[in-house]
Amino acid sequence: MTYEVKSLNEECGVFGIWGHPQAAQVTYFGLHSLQHRGQEGAGILANDGGHLRRHRGTGLIAEVFKNPVDLEALTGTAAIGHVRYATSGSASINNIQPFLFDFADMQVGLAHNGNLTNAVSLKAELEKNGSIFSSSSDTEILMHLIRRSHNPDFMGKIKEALNTVKGGFAYLIMLEDKLVAA
């Protein structure tokens, strides 16, 4: 019996590092090694003493950072990065990760690989309860779940949100003082 493989597809790639003086540069090379997992877009978010900054764009990682100033501007000792292969959401720049959320009380960076099998129902429920989404990616659902949690501990909020989503996934969550991998 013979089998024909029409194509092999990977679904995004995520990379994170904490405690390195050139975190964004290391993340760039990490994403370069993961480029086979996504060619539609790429981005890096860096943590410089609790201030999160990001650069992202369409295309390969080398194209997104073809101007060296863009990578040099991402100073700090922690970073997360993402290469995109769309399985959900359009090719819009709004769907290219890492996402950066600027809340009144904190900044949060989020990168995600995988698919949420209950994304449609969760998004509908969240929108019904007032959530407004700025992308068509299922990644944003996790942040809405975290922010709506009544758990007093932020790590508890993350655990609660992760127990709500279903599917296969990997998340990197950058906070001002920590990097969470789930």
Chain centroid to Cα 62, Å, comes to: 18
Check if the beta carbon of residue 172 is closer than 8 Å to that of residue 181. yes
Of the candidates 80, 22, 76, the residue with the CA atom closest to the CA atom of residue 48 = 76
Known active-site residue 12: yes
Identify the active-site residue in 10, 12, 36, 120. 12
Residue 176 to residue 141: CA distance in whole angstroms: 21
Q: What is the DSSP string of 76-90?
A: SSEEEEEEE--SSS-
Structure tokens belonging to residue 137: 């990616």
**What is the token pair recorded at 181?**
């991998």
The set of catalytic residues is 12
